[in-house]
């Protein structure tokens, strides 16, 4: 089953659909014209069992879903194709469960196979990060429908969203899939997100507060405090307290003005005298920092009334940090002296509270970093060559584990002395160390345990990769084969393998090193991720591995359907001795699998024929374009992971496109279980790195995955020195008067309709408006579809003609990418007639033989020509190095998609500099979105990269600003 999450007013509801086709019954109507039962919805009993829930509250939801009168469209993750070409929105009934928020969080940890579940998991991660950083405040809210009149309120924890957190909240709201709130009663995504975030935050805080705040509540205020912990949140209303709490929340949420008070902890040079320096800081420019002493001297460095702002801010801060009162006893407070315990209390308690309330906090560089850790030293029993036959991960090696503080190893006596002192901040060999009592106890236990001896290389490898939650591994010193593996530089330390006999090509030096690395991992029984840049030859390196290994069990290669022909051609060209069988299509014959060396299939076929493929013995399973399995919960990802094999290899130029969970999914395929469960990976690596920019967590993840990922880039001259440069230029195109008039007419018409619509209808109108505006930017005839003349009516087409003439005049070739097949069909005959040169046209509707013939002609014909290509049909899998010009006629807003298309020309075999031009109509939607991409690259990859739906939740005024036509008279 595939689980989905939808917000149901009072909680996150889960429903699920089966993945197998069902009889076309159309569902039984409850009444004439009423919602029908979703024919593929999983019953409540199966749903609860599949989610691991024990008798959760149930409910029947009415969801607004697209489809036919027979059934809704299947979710993309089911792998089933829709049977209707003109879906309409209809109400469907589904059985659902609505567990408590704490249980919902657990379900999201374990089930992330659909877009809605992944989005709610991101919301849950955001809530965890807010709670971890103390960005929460207690609250008291009225519940008029309470079962008892005495307990008519609830004690809850609410998140505090300011600054970057508020920005990320807006991004999550914009990125919310429509299916997260496709109920019969539509609500704005921001409202849904607020409700969910508050529910998750309250549940997470209660999980952490295991001890009651008040043991024996006597007053209503005590009842409120007691209700902040435990499962029961009901309590009496206390109007005065409620108003104070609302004021507190409002003050924190709106405290960001032109300046803010900042607290800087300064460590002592020699003595134990710490101090907190008080200062003012510009809210929009944290580098503008003015100590309080300069403020009192009246130096005009900040806007507004600095003295007033400083005192007002300190007055608010003293409620969170009572120790600050000592500094306020003088007329002009400038600093707060502290002893060592006071400094530790500031680090652990006051600093997080002050940051959560919007104050600036500056801590020493060592603060918050891992203090105590482990150093692992291993030595082989005998110095074994890196690729010696017979070495396996079961071989025994000598090991020793030492305790370390930063880069320094400490002895048992030093550790015992630190434990005896019981001082939270100590200086160890010249550096201040913040001692965590939990880590200190773990270190003492480690000293008592086995710290030296023999262990298998596999056990030590698992220890290095998964680490220890309490005592992280800070350093590894290994020799021999294990040292080669753990170095993260194995491909450079191994002896390169020369081009094997039987490979009809000469490998480049970095490919020989890559072949040695792949063979090395294979001999150890380990999987890997070959993540070389597109165009560096992952295909030929993989074929070289198969030729090098010789006869044996077949290798199964899983790839997108568009790459089957490419693999066939490359294998026939470079490894003619390999017996290749394509297991795809209606006539596939499983009986031929055992006679082949290389079996090629698609992700869809592997999912459908899973039982057949599991019945064969495989030497290796290879996933090409492995980003196809980046979502671990999808059916195709689960399918390829379940195929038994000796080793696994993932090929991808983009191991991480959006978030680190994708890296876990690909690594889980290559080496199952090596990185531990997904939930532990998220808490140990994903959350600290993505939400907190934790450098140590990033270093630990690199150390954990480095031995199994080989990543080289084309721009590294030490890898490939003869690849030319890639030059990118934005071509700004004006609109003609006709285009400008048509553009404004579309904006006016669509904004009027959008303003009067809501829900899914509104989203559809926004996407329709974007498509129409982009078509206007291409050409009026593209929008009108009236077959009218093309000449002189489009600024973009005029510029495209000019560029094409210049390219052809130089005797060169160009690729012209468009996301619209209908526009490509207009361009091809027009440009061919205007330029009197061959203009080829490749799109998804062409049969494979025709595609191959076009590619062959473009690559071999010496005549200058243009190749118009549909972006989706030709963005991957083609080698078109005959072109050294790439023009993106109408841009797809995902930079990774554009780069993949560009790399059809910018790859090995290219001898000229590649010039990439992106055509943008100035003053239009195209320019606005380009600005957003340039300003927020990370957002573009995470949100805009999923398509254009991130715009659909903007208000009408915001849409007017995005769509507005500027600079056209």
* Under 8 Å between Cβ of 5 and 180: yes
pLDDT per position as a tens digit, 244-298: 888 877 766 655 556 788 999 988 876 668 899 999 887 666 778 889 998 888 8
Could you identify the residue written with the tokens 């999808």? 634
Same domain, 400 and 356: no
- Least-confidence region, from 458-462, 622-626, 700-704, 811-815: 458-462
CB atoms within 10 A of CB 507: 20
What's the pLDDT at 758? Answer: 67
* Under 8 Å between Cβ of 119 and 38: no
Could you identify the residue written with the tokens 């390196």? 541
Residue 13 has pLDDT above 50, yes or no: yes
Residue 763 has pLDDT above 50, yes or no: yes
Q: Collapsing DSSP states into helix, strand and coil, what is residue 290?
A: strand
pLDDT grade for 968, boundaries at 50, 70 and 90 = very low
Name the H helices within 136-188. 163-175
Same domain, 469 and 527: no
Q: Cα–Cα distances in Å, from 509 out to 158, 312, 537, 619, 876? A: 58, 66, 12, 26, 25
Measured between alpha carbons, how far is 600 from 582 in angstroms, rounded to an integer? 5
Token pair belonging to 581: 């069988």
Same domain, 730 and 620: no
DSSP 500: P
Residue 240 resides in a domain: no
- Return all residues near 669 (Cβ < 8 A) that are at least 6 apart: 527, 623, 626, 629, 637, 640, 641, 648, 650
Same domain, 463 and 501: no
Same domain, 601 and 738: no
- Least-confidence region, from 123-137, 628-642, 673-687, 888-902: 888-902
Using a 10 angstrom Cβ sphere, with 0-12 exposed, 13-18 middle and 19 or more buried, the burial of residue 110 is middle
Same domain, 647 and 773: no
* Under 8 Å between Cβ of 581 and 620: no
Same domain, 502 and 480: no
* Under 8 Å between Cβ of 53 and 36: no
Domain that holds residue 4: 1-98
Residue 658 resides in a domain: yes
pLDDT per position as a tens digit, 505-539: 889 888 998 898 899 888 888 899 998 876 678 88
pLDDT grade for 204, boundaries at 50, 70 and 90 = very high
- Least-confidence region, from 289-298, 569-578, 710-719, 931-940: 931-940
* Under 8 Å between Cβ of 123 and 165: no
Same domain, 865 and 955: yes
Same domain, 529 and 634: yes
Angle at 834 between CA 833 and CA 837, to 5 degrees: 65
Please provide residue 834's backbone torsions phi and psi, each rounded to the nearest 5 degrees: -70, -35
What percentage of the chain reaches a pLDDT higher than 90? Answer: 18
Domain-terminating residue out of 431, 456, 486: 486
Measured between alpha carbons, how far is 62 from 89 in angstroms, rounded to an integer? 12
pLDDT per position as a tens digit, 168-178: 888 888 888 88
pTM to 2 decimals?
Answer: 0.52
Residue 122 resides in a domain: no
Cα pseudo-dihedral 610, 612, 615, 618, rounded to 10: -70
Measured between alpha carbons, how far is 268 from 407 in angstroms, rounded to an integer? 22
What's the pLDDT at 768? Answer: 79
Measured distance between the N- and C-terminal CA atoms of the chain, rounded to whole angstroms: 56
Which residue, among 209, 230, 195, 210, has the nearest Cα to 98 in the 3D structure? 195
Domain-terminating residue out of 677, 710, 743: 710
DSSP 72: B
Same domain, 558 and 409: no
Residue 81 resides in a domain: yes
Mean pLDDT to the nearest integer, 565-586 = 87
Domain-terminating residue out of 36, 67, 98: 98
DSSP 349: I
Selection from 147-156, 356-365, 606-615 with the highest mean pLDDT: 606-615
CATH code at 846? 3.40.50.300
pLDDT per position as a tens digit, 372-426: 677 777 777 654 444 343 345 666 666 777 777 766 677 767 777 666 666 667 6
Using a 10 angstrom Cβ sphere, with 0-12 exposed, 13-18 middle and 19 or more buried, the burial of residue 295 is buried
Please provide residue 164's backbone torsions phi and psi, each rounded to the nearest 5 degrees: -65, -30
Q: Is the dihedral of CA 585, 587, 589, 592 positive or negative?
A: negative
What's the pLDDT at 27? Answer: 44
- The DSSP H or E segment spanning 765 is helix 759-778
Residue 743 resides in a domain: yes
Residue 644 has pLDDT above 90, yes or no: yes
Same domain, 747 and 896: yes
Residue 25 has pLDDT above 60, yes or no: no
Residue 889 resides in a domain: yes
Same domain, 38 and 15: yes
Residue 466 resides in a domain: yes
Which residue, among 877, 853, 501, 490, has the nearest Cα to 653 in the 3D structure? 877
pLDDT grade for 641, boundaries at 50, 70 and 90 = very high
pLDDT per position as a tens digit, 141-200: 887 665 556 678 899 999 988 766 777 888 888 888 888 876 655 678 888 999 999 999
Residue 597 resides in a domain: yes
Count how many domains the chain has. Answer: 5
């Amino acid at each position: 089953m595939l689980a989905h999450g939808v917000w149901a007013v009072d909680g996150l509801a889960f429903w699920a659909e089966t993945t197998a086709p069902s009889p076309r019954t159309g569902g039984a109507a409850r009444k004439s014209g009423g919602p029908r039962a979703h024919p593929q919805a999983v019953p409540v009993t199966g749903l609860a069992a599949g989610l691991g829930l024990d008798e959760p509250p149930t409910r029947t939801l009415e969801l607004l879903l697209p489809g036919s009168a027979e059934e809704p469209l299947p979710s993309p993750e089911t792998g089933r194709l829709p049977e209707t070409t003109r879906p309409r929105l209809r109400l469907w009934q589904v059985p659902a469960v609505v567990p408590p928020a704490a249980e919902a969080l657990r379900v999201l940890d374990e089930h992330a196979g659909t877009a809605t579940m992944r989005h709610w998991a991101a919301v849950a991660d955001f809530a965890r990060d807010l709670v971890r950083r103390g960005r929460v405040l207690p609250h008291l809210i009225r519940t008029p429908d309470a079962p008892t009149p005495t307990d008519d309120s609830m004690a809850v924890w609410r998140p505090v969203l300011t600054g970057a957190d508020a920005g990320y909240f807006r991004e999550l709201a914009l990125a919310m899939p429509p299916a997260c709130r496709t109920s019969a009663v539509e609500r704005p995504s921001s409202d849904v997100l607020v409700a969910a975030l508050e529910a998750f935050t309250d549940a997470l805080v209660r999980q952490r507060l295991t001890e009651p705040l008040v043991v024996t509540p006597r007053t209503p205020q005590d009842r409120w405090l007691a209700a902040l912990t435990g499962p029961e949140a009901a309590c009496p209303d206390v109007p005065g307290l409620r108003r104070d709490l609302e004021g507190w929340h409002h003050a924190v949420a709106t405290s960001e003005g032109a300046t803010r008070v900042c607290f800087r902890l300064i460590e002592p040079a020699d003595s134990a005298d710490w101090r907190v320096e008080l200062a003012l800081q510009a809210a929009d420019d944290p580098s503008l920092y003015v100590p309080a002493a300069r403020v009192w001297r009246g130096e005009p460095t900040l806007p507004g009334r600095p003295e007033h702002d400083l005192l007002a801010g300190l007055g608010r801060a003293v409620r969170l940090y009572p120790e600050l009162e000592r500094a306020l006893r003088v007329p002009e407070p400038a600093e707060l002296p502290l002893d060592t315990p006071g400094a530790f209390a500031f680090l652990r308690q006051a600093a997080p509270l002050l940051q959560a309330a919007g104050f600036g906090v500056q801590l020493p560089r060592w603060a918050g970093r891992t203090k105590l850790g482990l150093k692992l030293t291993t030595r082989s029993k005998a110095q074994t060559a890196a690729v010696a036959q017979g070495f396996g991960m079961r071989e025994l090696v000598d090991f020793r584990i030492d305790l370390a503080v930063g880069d320094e190893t400490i002895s048992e006596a030093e550790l015992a002395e630190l434990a005896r002192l019981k001082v939270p901040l100590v200086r160890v060999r010249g550096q201040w160390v913040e001692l965590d009592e939990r880590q200190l106890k773990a270190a003492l236990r480690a000293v008592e345990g086995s710290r030296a001896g023999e262990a298998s290389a596999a056990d030590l490898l698992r220890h290095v990769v998964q680490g220890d939650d309490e005592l992280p591994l800070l350093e590894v010193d290994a020799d021999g084969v294990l040292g080669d593996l753990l170095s993260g530089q194995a491909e450079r330390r191994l002896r390169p393998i020369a081009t094997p006999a039987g490979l009809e090509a000469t490998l480049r030096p970095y490919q020989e090193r890559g072949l040695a690395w792949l063979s090395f991992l294979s001999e150890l029984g380990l999987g890997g991720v070959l993540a070389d840049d597109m165009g560096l030859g992952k295909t030929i390196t993989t074929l070289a591995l198969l030729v090098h290994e010789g006869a044996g069990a077949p290798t199964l290669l899983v790839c997108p359907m568009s790459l089957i022909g490419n693999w066939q051609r490359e294998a026939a060209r470079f490894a003619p001795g390999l017996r290749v069988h394509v297991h795809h299509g209606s006539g596939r014959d499983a009986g031929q699998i055992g006679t082949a060396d290389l079996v090629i299939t698609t992700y869809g076929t592997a999912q459908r024929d899973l039982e057949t493929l599991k019945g064969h013995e495989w030497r290796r399973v290879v996933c090409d374009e492995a980003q196809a399995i980046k979502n671990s919960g999808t059916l195709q990802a689960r399918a390829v992971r379940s195929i038994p094999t000796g080793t696994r290899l993932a090929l991808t130029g983009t191991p991480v496109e959006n978030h680190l969970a994708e890296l876990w999914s690909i690594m889980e395929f290559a080496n199952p279980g090596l990185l531990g469960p997904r939930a532990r990976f998220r808490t140990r690596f994903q959350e600290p790195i993505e939400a907190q920019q934790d450098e140590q967590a990033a270093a630990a993840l690199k150390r954990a995955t480095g031995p199994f990922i080989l990543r080289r880039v084309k721009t590294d001259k030490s890898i490939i020195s003869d690849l030319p440069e890639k030059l990118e230029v934005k071509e700004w195109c004006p609109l003609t008067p006709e285009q400008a008039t048509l553009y404004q007419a579309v904006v006016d018409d669509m904004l009027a309709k959008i303003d009067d619509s809501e829900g899914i209808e509104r989203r559809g109108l926004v996407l329709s408006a974007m498509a129409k505006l982009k078509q206007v930017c291409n050409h009026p005839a593209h929008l009108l579809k009236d077959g009218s003349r093309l000449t002189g009516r489009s600024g973009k087409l005029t510029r495209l003609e000019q560029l094409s003439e210049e390219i052809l005049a130089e005797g060169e070739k160009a690729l012209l990418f468009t996301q619209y097949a209908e526009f490509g069909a207009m361009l091809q005959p027009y440009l061919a007639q205007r330029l009197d040169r061959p203009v080829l046209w490749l799109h998804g509707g062409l049969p494979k033989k025709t595609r191959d013939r076009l590619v062959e002609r473009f690559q071999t014909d010496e005549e200058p020509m243009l190749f118009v290509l549909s972006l989706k049909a030709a963005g991957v899998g083609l080698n078109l190095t005959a072109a050294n010009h790439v023009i993106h006629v109408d841009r797809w807003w995902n930079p990774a998609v554009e780069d993949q298309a560009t790399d059809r020309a910018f790859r090995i075999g290219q001898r000229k500099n590649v010039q990439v031009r992106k055509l943008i109509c100035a003053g239009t939607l195209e320019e606005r979105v380009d600005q957003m991409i340039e300003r927020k690259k990370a957002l573009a990859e995470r949100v805009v990269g999923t398509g254009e739906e991130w715009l659909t939740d903007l208000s009408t005024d915001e849409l007017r600003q995005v769509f507005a036509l500027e600079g056209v008279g």
